[in-house]
């Protein structure tokens, strides 16, 4: 879908500002139009009444240039600012949701209105479930308290300014570049916090008032850390074996898990593809050799350069960091407690920044949340020898 500013101007005159804004917003959301299809100057000339004169008025040498931007001047720039906001918002979101941010796709997002939350759970009291005879009452199940505390949430955000010069000289590419950087910085920051949590670099698991390390080689509650380099299907078999020894702390029964997600560092990506995507596997026992269909093809493999760099930054040796891998059900183990998702808000026209800095409008992108460990028993972390 190409953008015709003459058609845009006609639609604006016929349909009005509200419908025009709605139409272009829908085209951006459905990807029929891309932010790079727009020009700030052309948008202003099409959507602002007497738009050509308004753009010329951004040059202070023009008569009335200041008056055109003053409050109460009668110039309606609402449609122009709203569409510009949609364009910039789309650019920010595209960068914030970059495909390389794999960790945000692995964990669960839990909306919350609290700054740190106590997630309650009901702990069933274990006991023998006896058969119920005809006409006999069903027994009642007793319950005890169980809860985990999630970390306090934090807010992060940045501002994208649109200056007079950006409109007058049509520096749309520069504004979009800044918007893209804002989305990328906010997305990367969230990805780094998730990496620190998933890798156990930050300890945020607090159950029943007691804090625990996410990964442990030996304790009375669970063992989910092992020396187990990723070589072939036997490595996966050894990692899955740890789940068989983990018990639900409430019931004392084995945890119910379908461990079908794998996180590797970039250096292990091709090894993981060979292990999990091979059509067949071979097993040798003494003089007997067996070829069978690979049972691991249902695993979903993700690699993360961000996770690798966070390991190295934490002091882990590069050789160890490169060969670290994790397996489990990440959505049950981890979550992002989200007060609000990435949100773009727009400043009012004719603000103080317009007069003092020639900033016609500003767009603020922000998000607030915290990475949290829900139950570390659902992920195993494997280290090289």
DSSP states along 313-337: HTT--HHHHHT-EEEE-HHHHEEEE
Q: Any idea how long the chain is?
A: 385
pLDDT of residue 66: 45
In this structure, is residue 183 part of a structural domain?
Answer: yes
Confidence tier at 125 by pLDDT (50, 70, 90): low
Angle 313-177-44 from CA coordinates, rounded to 5°: 155
Q: By three-state DSSP, how is residue 46 classified? A: helix
pLDDT of residue 339: 96
In this structure, is residue 253 part of a structural domain?
Answer: yes
What sections of the chain are H helices per DSSP? 5-29, 40-47, 51-56, 78-96, 103-106, 164-168, 172-198, 233-244, 269-277, 305-313, 318-322, 330-333, 352-357
What average pLDDT does range 272-284 have in this prediction? 87
In this structure, is residue 6 part of a structural domain?
Answer: no
Out of 124-138, 152-166, 296-310, which region has the weakest mean confidence (pLDDT)?
124-138
Q: How many CB atoms lie within 10 A of CB 240?
A: 14
3-state secondary structure 105-164: HHCEEEECCCCCCEEEEEEECCCCCCCCCCCCCCCCCCEEEEEEECCCCEEEEEEEEEEH
pTM: 0.86
Sign of CA dihedral 123, 125, 131, 136: negative
Cα 106 to Cα 195, 279, 329, distances in angstroms: 11, 25, 9
DSSP letters for 271-291: HHHHHHH-SEEEEEETTEEEE
Specify the higher pLDDT residue, 121 or 25. 25
Domain CATH number, residue 255: 3.90.1690
* Residue 230 pLDDT greater than 60, yes or no: yes
Average predicted confidence (pLDDT) for the chain? 87
For 94-116, b/e burial (b = at least 16 CB within 10 A) is bbbeeeebbbbebbeeeebeeee
Q: In this structure, are strands 379-383 and 225-227 parallel, antiparallel, or unpaired?
A: parallel
In this structure, is residue 335 part of a structural domain?
Answer: yes
- Cβ burial of 250 (10 Å; 0-12, 13-18, 19+) is middle
Residue with tokens 């200041």: 66
In this structure, is residue 127 part of a structural domain?
Answer: no
Name which of 221, 223, 154, 215 is nearest 190 in CA terms.
154
In this structure, is residue 18 part of a structural domain?
Answer: no
Total number of domains in the chain:
1
Strand-pairing partners, residue 212, are 205
Out of 88-92, 120-124, 285-289, 301-305, which region has the weakest mean confidence (pLDDT)?
120-124
* Residue 14 pLDDT greater than 60, yes or no: yes
pLDDT of residue 96: 95
Supply the Cα-derived Rg of the chain in whole angstroms. 28
On whether the CB atoms of residues 280 and 294 are closer than 8 A, the answer is yes
- Cβ burial of 230 (10 Å; 0-12, 13-18, 19+) is buried
Angle 345-348-349 from CA coordinates, rounded to 5°: 135
Q: How far is CA 221 from the centre of its chain?
A: 30
In this structure, is residue 54 part of a structural domain?
Answer: no
Confidence tier at 71 by pLDDT (50, 70, 90): very low
Sign of CA dihedral 156, 355, 58, 27: positive
Q: What is the domain range of residue 147?
A: 100-119+143-385
What average pLDDT does range 330-359 have in this prediction? 88
In this structure, is residue 51 part of a structural domain?
Answer: no
């Amino acid at each position: 879908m190409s953008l015709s500013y003459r058609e845009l101007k006609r639609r604006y005159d016929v349909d009005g500002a509200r419908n025009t804004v709605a139409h272009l917003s829908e085209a951006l959301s459905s990807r029929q139009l891309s932010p790079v299809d727009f020009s700030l100057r052309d948008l202003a000339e099409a959507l602002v009444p007497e738009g050509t004169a308004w753009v010329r008025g951004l040059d202070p040498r023009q008569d009335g240039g200041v008056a055109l931007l003053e409050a109460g001047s009668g110039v309606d720039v609402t449609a122009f600012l709203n569409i510009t906001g949609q364009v910039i918002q789309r650019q920010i979101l595209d960068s914030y949701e970059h495909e390389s941010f794999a960790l945000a796709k692995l964990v669960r997002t839990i909306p919350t209105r609290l700054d740190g939350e106590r997630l309650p759970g009901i702990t069933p009291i274990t006991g023998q479930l006896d058969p119920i005879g005809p006409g006999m009452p069903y027994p009642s199940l007793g319950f005890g308290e169980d809860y985990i505390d999630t970390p306090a949430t934090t807010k992060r955000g940045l501002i994208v300014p649109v200056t007079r010069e950006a409109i007058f000289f049509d520096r749309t590419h520069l504004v979009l570049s800044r918007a893209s950087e804002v989305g990328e910085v906010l997305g990367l920051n969230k990805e780094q916090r998730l990496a620190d949590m998933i890798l156990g670099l930050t300890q945020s698991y607090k159950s029943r008032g007691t804090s625990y390390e996410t990964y442990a080689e030996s304790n009375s509650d669970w063992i989910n850390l092992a020396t187990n380099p990723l070589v072939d299907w036997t490595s996966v078999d050894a990692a899955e074996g740890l789940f068989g020894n983990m018990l639900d702390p409430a019931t004392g029964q084995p945890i119910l898990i379908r461990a079908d997600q794998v996180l590797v560092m970039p250096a292990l990506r091709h090894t993981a593809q060979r292990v999990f995507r091979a059509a067949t596997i071979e097993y040798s026992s003494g003089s007997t050799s067996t070829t069978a269909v690979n049972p691991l093809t249902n695993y979903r493999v993700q690699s993360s350069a961000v996770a690798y760099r966070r390991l190295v930054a934490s002091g882990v040796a590069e050789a160890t960091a490169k060969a670290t891998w994790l397996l489990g059900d990440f959505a049950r183990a981890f979550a992002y407690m989200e007060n609000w998702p990435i949100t773009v808000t727009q400043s009012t026209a004719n603000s103080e920044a317009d007069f003092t800095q020639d900033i016609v409008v500003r767009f603020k992108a922000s998000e607030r949340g915290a990475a949290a460990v829900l139950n570390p028993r659902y992920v195993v972390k494997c280290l090289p020898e």
